[in-house]
Amino acid sequence: MESPFKPEILKGKVALLTGGASGIGFEISTQFGKHGASIAIMGRRKAIVDAAVSSLRSLGIPAAGFAGDVRNQEDAKRVVESTIEHFGRLDILVNAAAGNFLVSPEDLSPNGFRTVMDIDSVGTFTMCREALKYLKKGGAGRKESDKGGLILNISATLHYTASWYQIHVSAAKAAVDAITRNLALEWGTDYDIRVNGIAPGPINDTPGMRKLGPEEINSMRSSDVMPLFKLGEKWDIAVAALYLASDAGKYVNGTTLVVDGGLWLSRPRHLPKEEVKMLSRVVEKRARQAPTGVPSSKL
Ligand code: COA
């Protein structure tokens, strides 16, 4: 789809994306590049990173790739420094690297739980920490007139309610959202860095969807009752990222933008809808029977 944004909105910016070689991360890499940014990609698998870089370059986008694992602090430091060596500065860090698999809590080992926490939560924190000295206002590589940079954390909506077989990922993404809010407060105040997140719903044609039971969710596509309740496209997430990364989002800090067509709202509640309805009737009745002299607005 054609972009609704002007092609130069990220002109002169340098973005580093973990997990930027595939899925949602690669679409953000591509859209950021098409809107003027130079792109550095970090990923565990060198061949996939190299292929992504070639693909970006074939579109005329300045791109570089660095193999590394966000769980390894040395890798994080090396990749951030390599980005600076290559492009001279860093304006945007996108934490899109994530681990996921379906498993029941009773079958998940503590090490399996820790593995996903390490990739999603600790990895996000480590990358932010290593990037700080380049992202902060007045930081290395920044001009005096430059504002501070931006951090964008890719999250999820799983933990807003509860999700079968996703206890580890839900915990990890809840931590990511906490990192987003706390860094927005701390680094927004001290260093002029905006820190935001995006919580995608189920997105078509991604490794996550291929792994996490696509059939059930694919059937939503045919829904004509609620037209927004369908799979999203990677493009939807990338343009949300563009909005947050551009000056259009300059007053947005500490927010995780849900981009899911409203889907998480439809998750089954613990309390069935009919019971809530009954309860509301009882509450209304009690309110009507309250002693006189109490204004109805106070009930
Ligand atoms: N079910 C249960 N436990 C699993 C598992 C699965 N499918 N996959 C890994 N684990 C557990 C392992 O058993 C191990 O725990 P143990 O030592 O107690 O046995 C622990 O997780 C680490 O496994 P390991 O294979 O050593 O980890 P890794 O560093 O190679 O990473 C993944 C494995 C699965 C976390 C990672 O490769 C991954 O998530 N890849 C997919 C990425 C993806 O889908 N991204 C899209 C996100 S939406």
Contacts of 127 (CB under 8 A, 6+ apart): 18, 70, 76, 80, 93, 95
Question: 205 C-alpha to center of ligand 1: Å?
Answer: 21
- What is the torsional sign of CA 265, 268, 274, 280? negative
Class of 14-268 per CATH? alpha beta
95: left (phi over 0), alpha (psi -120 to 50) or beta: beta
Show the CA angle centred on residue 8, arms to residues 7 and 14, nearest 5°.
Answer: 115
The pocket around ligand 1, CB under 6 angstroms, is made up of 98-101, 103, 108-109, 111-112, 115-116, 207-208, 211
- Polymer length in residues for the chain: 299
Between 107 and 281, name the one with better pLDDT: 107
Which pair of tokens denotes residue 250? 């300059």
Read off the pLDDT of residues 181-200 as tens digits, 9 standing for 90 and up: 999 999 999 999 999 999 99
Closest residue by CA, ligand 1 atom 1? 103
Q: Which atom of ligand 1 is nearest to the CA of 23?
A: 46
In the block, which residue shows the tokens 């973005």? 15
Closest C-alpha residue for ligand 1 atom 39: 99
CA distance linking residue 212 with residue 165, whole number of Å: 10
What does the pLDDT average to over 198-215? Answer: 79
Ligand 1 atom at minimum distance from 119 CA:
35
What is residue 289's predicted lDDT score, i.e. its pLDDT? 73
Do residues 177 and 155 make contact, with C-beta atoms less than 8 angstroms apart? yes
Q: How confident is the model at residue 224 (pLDDT cuts 50, 70, 90)?
A: very low
Question: What does the pLDDT average to over 263-274?
Answer: 69
Cα–Cα distance, 138 to 133 (Å, whole number): 9
Give the whole-angstrom CA distance, residue 192 versus residue 250.
11
User: Which residue CA neighbors atom 14 of ligand 1 most closely?
Assistant: 112
Distance 114 CA to ligand 1 centre (A): 10
pLDDT the model gives residue 287:
63
pLDDT at position 222 over 50 = no
For residue 226, count other CB atoms closer than 10 A to its CB: 12
Instruction: Read off the DSSP letter of residue 247.
Output: G
pLDDT more than 70, % of the chain: 83
**How far is residue 183's CA from residue 172's CA, in Å, rounded to a whole number?**
16
Which protein residue has the closest C-alpha to ligand 1 atom 17?
111
Phi, psi dihedral angles at 272 (to 5 degrees): -60, 150
Select from 106, 115, 163, 164 the residue to mutate for testing ligand 1; criterion: most ligand atoms less than 8 Å from CB: 115
- pLDDT given for residue 291 in this prediction: 54
Query: Ligand 1: distance of its center to the CA of 97 in Å?
Result: 13
- Between the CA of 172 and the centroid of ligand 1 the distance, in Å, is 14
pLDDT at site 273: 61
Q: State whether the Cα torsion 185-170-155-276 is positive or negative.
A: negative
Tell which one of 71, 75, 101 to mutate to probe ligand 1, the residue whose CB is within 8 A of the most ligand atoms. 101
Q: Comparing C-alpha atoms, which of 230, 244, 232 is closest to residue 198?
A: 244
The domain limits of the chain are 14-268, 269-299
C-beta atoms surrounding 52 within 10 Å: 23
What gap in Å lies between CA 16 and CA 65, rounded to an integer? 9
Distance of CA 267 from the midpoint of ligand 1 (Å):
26
Q: What is the pLDDT of residues 114-168, one digit of tens each?
A: 999 999 999 999 999 999 999 999 999 999 999 999 999 999 999 999 888 899 9
> What's the average model confidence in pLDDT over 37-50?
98
Q: Indicate the SS3 state at residue 74.
A: helix
40 forms beta bridges with 16, 64
Closest CA to 41 of 74, 84, 79, 85: 79
- Whole-number Å distance, alpha carbon 118 to ligand 1 midpoint, is 11
The pLDDT of residue 298 is 42
Please determine, for residue 226, whether its predicted confidence score (pLDDT) is greater than 70: no
Distance of CA 265 to the CA centre of its chain: 18
Name the phi and psi angles at 195, rounded to 5. Answer: -130, 115
